[in-house]
Structure 1
Amino acid sequence: MPTGKLHLKRTPAEQAERDFRKAQKAVRKASRKRRHADSSDDEWKHISEGGSNNSSRATHKPSNYTYVFSDDEYGPPPPPPASTSFRTHKQDYDTIYAQLEEERFREKIFEAMEDDERLDGVESRLNSYAHIPRRWRSGGMDKMDDEEGVKPHMMEEEDYAERKHAAEYAEQERKKAERAARRAREKAVRKETSRLERAADDERKRRRRSKERRKVAEIRLWYDTRWKELLAVGKTGEEQLTFPDIPWPVLPSESDDNKSRRVISLGDITAAAISTFLLLDDEESVEDVDVVKRRKDKLRETMLRYHPDKFEGRIMSRVTEIDREKVRDALGIVVRAINELLGERR
């Protein structure tokens, strides 16, 4: 039956002190037994040497004699100390005490680690169920975004429907953003393509104009050179001229590769073609005084070359009979066009 006595758990210091006292008690008890055994051996030896009357006692020990060093009664004997001084025993007790403290400390550490692991597992299981519906929250908790890790089967119908609707809305917004981004990319691609096409078209036009200007410059150079050859001294009467041999102030419809012969027909000689050939210059302004003066001089020079009286005496006599009528028709067109241009410039 329980005695009703309250047993309190000893503190580590109390336990160590108790162990120390028990060790001291065991040592003292063993020392007393050792001294008693030594004295008994001396007495037994003295009795054995006393005579024959005590031979039986010398050969046989008493029946009630017990061994001093009984392992069953006292446990294994302690190791013999290197010195019997109190200081040596004090050092052994300190070592034993330190070992006991180390073992108790390790046991406490392991127990604390096991408790932490057990508590962590319990906390994780409890946290998996710690979901509060949004409509039951208060104090600002309704604004918390902690439902991302909640499983659907743990949610109520309203929360699940709200979350599903939010997910559908987010998906719609994502697709809408993707479509807008795709349209923006396509628009940017079309814009860039249009820009590149315009740039390429402008480059083609620029090259075509440059080519045309070079062509006009070459034709004008041939035109001036040919007139110088026709008007040179000593050339009169030495060369029979046809309609294409005469340098007309128009651009030819086509020419061969070496530009040595201009292909011009009577239909190419018009007032507009003459004005283009003599006055067209893309890079010069018609409002410039020097440009206006230079163009008037150009028209007067052309009129002197194609003046009917002078042209008849210097050129017409050398034209073949078959082309003379055609040359006279072209000459009349040139003279009338130059007169109109001169009248406009006055």
Structure 2
Amino acid sequence: MTGYFAFPPPSAPGSSTTSARTPFAAAGNTTIPTQQAKSDADSSSKLDDEAWAERLRLQEERRQKRLAYEQEQIRRAELDWVRAGGVLRNAQGRRDKARTELYRAEIRVLDEERAILDRWNVYEDRCRKLSTSDDYVTWSDIPWPVQQPPMNIEDFTSTAIADFLFAPLRVRGASGTRKDKLRQALLRWHPDKLSAVLSKVDDADQGRVLEGIHAVFRCLRELQDLEKNS
């Protein structure tokens, strides 16, 4: 049988019937990216960059802390070695006299700072116990603010009290100021504040202790005046 093509009949002139052919359409659901989509992509990329940068920063921070810890452990070990009488050596294994002497100087400073803090802590502890204890006290039981235990009133001088009072400020990393130390000491050693302590002093030492309190307070006022004028 001979085949043939069938064509739709032509539209009559003036007819409103549209062609049966459909317009061309792209396959699938492909869409053209909008400005919003581009903005979202840029924002996502920026967040990824920031997250990566933060991760690198934290890694570097941990690395620096680890290095600092290791260096401090090495320094302490070397200090202990020099304190025990050892001599440090350089990378070539030779005696490093210069660095050893630096460590010896550091040890002297550390020992002095420890002694200062120990004296101050004992002083603060004795002051607390004095204010809370009901026991009778004598001259030697009073935590006088001088480095050496005073024997009499003449041992209380502005210089002696300043040496003791301001010594903790020489410790590296110490907080506070000379004015702070003076303010605290004036409150502590004001004669009116120590009436309860005086009531616990043995009768034989009452007059002597009272004179000592007034002498300390007088020296503190002198130091305060010097601070104001300096």
TM-score under structure 2 length normalisation: 0.48
Return the structure number with greater helix share.
1
Which protein has the larger Cα radius of gyration, Structure 1 or Structure 2?
Answer: 1
Of structures 1 and 2, the one scoring higher in RCO (CA 8 A, sep 6+) is: 2
TM-score by length of 1: 0.33
